[in-house]
Each structure stands twice: as C-alpha cells, then as structure tokens.
Amino acid sequence: MNGRMYKYLAAVAVVTACVLLYVGKRVAWFEDMMFPTWLSILVCVLIAASMFWILLRTIKGKPAERRTVFLYVGIAVSLPLLMTISVHVPISTEGQLLFDGMKRIQPGSKVLVSFDYDPPSAPELQPMAEAFMRYCFERDIKVIIIGLWPQGPQQANLALAKLLAEPAISAKNLVYGVDYVNLGFQSGNEFVIQRMGSDFKSMFPADYRGTPYDSLPLVGNVRNFSGIDYSFNLSAGYPGTREWVLIGVDRFGLVMGAGNTAVQTTGMYPYVRSGQLKGILGGMSGAAEIEELTERLGKGAKFMVAQSFGHMVMIVFIVIGNVAYFLHERKKKKA
C-alpha cells in the first residue's frame, strides 16, 4: 500500500470512529469518556516527556515543525476536558471591584445588560453573561437586555433559556416584561448610546418580539439612563465597552461594569484605574472569577484547566523556540 492509501484508510478510520462515538452517545452506550486520575497523570507525563524530546532534537539541530506546535496545542487544550482536574482562579482586583459593585445593587433595581458580541466570542463572554444574570434573577434584580451587535440579543436568549430552566430560578416564576425583557438589536453603534441618553424608546420602539415599548411594564417608565441603576456591558470589539464608557458613563453618568474578551481587556484598564469603569472581567479567567465569586462554577471554571494547559505548552514552545533561535545565531556567527 502506498502513502495515499494509508491516508485514505486513516481518514476512513477517523470518520468511522466519529460516527460510532456520535451514535454511541445518542443510544447511551456510554455517559462520557472522562479519564480516571491515573490516566490523567500518565497523559500529562507523556506530553511533558515528548516536549522534552522535542527540546533535545532542537538542540541537536532538528527544530520542530510548525504543524507539531499546532498538534501539541490542540492536544493540550482538548485532553484536559477529559480530566477531572480543577484549577483555582485567583480573583483579580478588577474582578473583585466589579463584584463589590454588583453587591450594592438593591433588589428591585433595574440593570441594563448590553450584549455586544457574537458567537465566536461566546466561550469567553457567555459564562459571564449567565453568571451575572443568574445573580440578578436570584436577588430579584430586573434585567433589561439590549444589543449593539446583531447576534447579541440572540446570545442573550440562549443564556436566558439556560437560566430559566434552572430549578432555583424556575421556582421564582419570572415573568417576561416584568422581571426581564429583551429589547433586541439596534444598529447605529455609538449613536444608539448617544440617543438612549435622552430617549430609550426612540431606539427601541419595540422589543425583539415586536411588543411595543410602552406595553412592557419593566421599561414603560424608563425614559433614559437615569432610570437605570446599573449597567453591565459584554463586549468583543466595536461597538463595545469603550463607546459605552465614552458616552454612557462620561456623558450620562451611567454606573457600569464590563466583561470583555481578553484581547481588549488591557485597553480598558485605564478606564478602571480612573474610575470610569466600576470593575472589569477579562476573558476566560474573568468568567471563572465571576463564577467563583457568585459561587456557581460553570464552563468558565471548567475551561480554565484546558486554558492553563494550553498556556503551559505555549510557554514551553517559546522556550524551545528561543533555544533554536540562539543556537541558529551561534551557528551563523561561527560560519
């Protein structure tokens, strides 16, 4: 058999395995495939050993290929999901600041949650959204949802569906339009925020279901930001937290906390330092922080294990890469 045949056979084997796993899960041949502790440790040792072997090969002048790095990162991120390891995420100063602000929200207060992200950023921001809204619902805090990104309100609906199915929140018999409302998406970026400062209704004449604004008891007497007690912004880019701070906070005095993707969190720290933002959650670790603070661990905490493994693998490869670089430079100098 030539190489091509092996590739075809390998592809067929992989597809067959996927079909078997898919069918097996559906007919409940197995619950899940979590590793026992000894297997988790064995896997970690094997990966560490193989990376040490790569380092040795690099020193010998045979650097690893880029595809090897991709493979190791993929393994480092996938396998920990099968392990029963947990990681304690220390709470950052900014995360604690956000939570302290949340604790000051009184029952019955109206909170504006702006969903300014789309599905690609959901792994980081969806756990934050769920944790925050769960906290609100458990304490009878009213939630008004809007979105400056088209898919934002849809992400909000996914979070709402999950939360309303939880026993503790289901028992509260929350009523749409009274305890929470989704006003939907509005295009216009920062101009929407500017206009909301004087008139919410002009930007959201109806909610995402088409119910007129005035018919919704929760927002019927909310004219502008002065009717909002706290705002939480979930942002993955533009328009997002920066626009909310520049207009909502600085111009209209909104009290605001934020959850951002890790990419843009560093850019928001000056706003936290100056007090414009009352705390911020950054990326997956921010999601894990709020889950820990609200005492309900979810996907944020679960994913931090895989995140940490991924980081460790990358750090090792950075070291290996630097070793390769300096050896290469030395060889060049000798030559």
Partner 1 sequence: MHHIALWVAAFLTLGIISFLYRDNAWYKICESVFVGISAGYWFVSYFWDNLYGKLWLGVFPRDPAQQPDYILLIGGALGVMMLLRLIPKIGWLSRWPLAFIVGATAGLNLIIYFASNVMVQVEDTIRPLFGANYSSSAYDIVGNIVVAVGTFAALIYFFFSKEHKGAFGGAAKVGIFVLMVTFGASFGYTVMSRISLLLGRIDFLMGDWLGVIK
Partner 2 sequence: MTRPATGCKSRTRMLWVAAIGLSVFLATPAISHSQTDTSSNRLLRDTIPPAPVTSLLASDRKYDNGEAIDLTWVPSIDDQLLHGKITAYQIFRSDNGGEFKKVGDAIPGDNQFSDESVSYGHSYVYYVVALTAGGRAESIRTASLIAEREWINYNRKYLFLIGFIIAGSVVYFIETARRGKKLFIRRIAGLEAVDEAIGRATEMGRPILFISGTQDMDNVQTIAGITILGHVARTIADYDTKIRMPVSRSLVMTAARETIKTSYLAAGRPDAYSDDMVNYVTDEQFGFVAAVNGIMVREKPATCFYLGAFFAESLIMAETGYSIGAIQIAGTAMPTQLPFFVVACDFTLIGEELFAASAYLSNEPKQLGSLKGQDVGKAIALAMMIIGTIAVTVGQAWDVEFMNNIAHWLNSAFKTN
Can you give the binding site for partner 1, defined by CB under 8 A? 18, 21-22, 24-26, 31-34, 67, 70, 73-74, 77-78, 81-82, 120-124, 150, 185-187, 190-191, 194, 205, 212, 245-247, 249-251, 261-263, 265-267, 270, 273-276, 282-285, 299, 303, 306-307, 310-311, 314
Residue 283 contacts by C-beta under 8 Å, 6 or more apart in sequence? 124, 260, 261, 262, 263, 265
CB of 238 to partner 1, least distance (A): 12
Residue with tokens 């380092």: 55
Residue 252 contacts by C-beta under 8 Å, 6 or more apart in sequence? 197, 224, 225, 226
Given a contact cutoff of 8 angstroms between Cβ atoms, the answer to whether 138 and 297 are in contact is no
Looking at 58, 154, 155, 264, which residue binds partner 2 (CB under 8 A)? 264
Residue 267 as a binder of partner 2 (CB under 8 A): the answer is yes
Query: Judged by CB under 8 A, which stretch of 88-96, 202-210, 222-230, 292-300 contacts partner 2?
Result: 222-230
Residue 172's SS3 state is: coil
Our CB check for partner 1 shows the closer of 215 and 226 to be: 215
What is d(CA 245, CA 239) in angstroms, rounded to the nearest whole number? Answer: 11
Residues 301-320 that bind partner 2 (CB under 8 A): none
User: Tokens representing 111?
Assistant: 């909170």
Query: Judged by CB under 8 A, which stretch of 135-143, 167-175, 177-185, 263-271 contacts partner 2?
Result: 263-271
Residue 303: closest CA among 123, 116, 121, 70: 123
Our CB check for partner 1 shows the closer of 179 and 292 to be: 292
Vertex 128: Cα angle to 97 and 222 (nearest 5) = 80
Query: Judged by CB under 8 A, which stretch of 70-78, 136-144, 217-225, 282-290 contacts partner 2?
Result: 217-225
CB of 325 to partner 1, least distance (A): 17
